[in-house]
């Protein structure tokens, strides 16, 4: 039995799916037979990404919008209702905040609010919104974190704080949703050669960073696990040991 046969009835939502890690995951899951709902803010880029996915029999749905917008989250509900289940929610969409990245002492508060709305509040809202479908499938929520959540790096305070909060939210949701048989994990994918990484380091050559598909061995393992067995854990996708000790 191949992967496509194993996963052909499963449904996934990937936020920030038009490029970078989100696109790599969408392509990977579609190849396994998942029906994949892709969302991102740029409609042209999102449709172009969907067109590059070799979907086979999988259904690829695009829903353009901002995950911080309640109306967009309702559109995602409408897309999921077609399948009446959600096996995987990957909260990948993120914002660095104001660029160039300011020190916290100088951080525009509106920009800080926006960073938390996208990186922290929206993932919680999506879980709340999609909870019935996740419960039906006994699904998995993956919140994309960062080493900035634990590093206290100069200039990364706004982004890092929003991801640190998301890590705690992941642990808390994992505890609270045990009775629903829903797993929740956070994953630090590591430095990658992406547009976001280039935005963070505008004057640097980032060609030495690995491409997002470097992390695929980890994702192949994670998506093969029972969500309940991994729930509450934090992983590092490029580390020699994926699980971060508690």
Tell me the catalytic residues: 159
Task: Show contacts of 102-105: CB within 8 Å, 24+ apart.
Answer: 102/155, 102/158, 103/154, 103/155, 103/157, 104/157, 104/158
203 Cβ neighbours under 8 A, 6+ residues apart: none
d(CA 167, CA 184): 10
3-state SS assignment for residue 89: strand
46 alpha carbon, distance to own chain's centre: 15
d(CA 236, CA 234): 7
CA-based nearest residue to 140, from 14, 54, 3:
14
| Alpha-carbon distances of 41 from 14, 119, 149, 151, 172, rounded to whole Å | 12, 14, 24, 29, 28
- E strands, 159-198, are 183-188
Q: How many CB atoms lie within 10 A of CB 180?
A: 15
């Amino acid at each position: 039995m191949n992967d496509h046969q194993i996963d052909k009835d499963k449904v996934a939502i990937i936020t920030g799916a038009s490029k970078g890690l989100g696109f790599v995951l969408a392509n990977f899951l579609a190849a396994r037979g998942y029906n994949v709902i892709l969302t991102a803010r740029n409609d042209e880029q999102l449709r172009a990404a969907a067109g590059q996915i070799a979907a086979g029999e999988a259904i690829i749905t695009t829903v353009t919008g901002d995950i911080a917008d309640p109306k967009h989250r309702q559109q995602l509900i409408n897309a999921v209702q077609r399948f009446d289940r959600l096996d995987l929610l990957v909260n990948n969409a993120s914002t660095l905040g104001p660029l160039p990245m300011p020190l916290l002492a100088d951080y525009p508060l509106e920009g800080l609010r926006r960073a938390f709305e996208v990186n922290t509040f929206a993932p919680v809202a999506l879980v709340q919104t999609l909870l019935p479908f996740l419960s039906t499938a006994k699904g998995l929520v993956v919140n994309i974190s960062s080493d900035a959540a634990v590093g206290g790096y100069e200039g990364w305070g706004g982004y890092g704080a929003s991801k640190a909060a998301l890590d705690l939210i992941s642990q808390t949701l994992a505890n609270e949703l045990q009775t629903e048989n829903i797993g929740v994990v956070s994953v630090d994918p590591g430095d990658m050669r992406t547009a976001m990484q280039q935005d963070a380091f505008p004057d640097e050559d980032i060609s030495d960073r690995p491409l997002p598909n470097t992390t695929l061995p980890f994702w192949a393992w994670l998506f093969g696990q029972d969500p309940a067995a991994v729930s509450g854990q934090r992983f590092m996708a490029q580390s020699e040991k994926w699980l971060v000790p508690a």
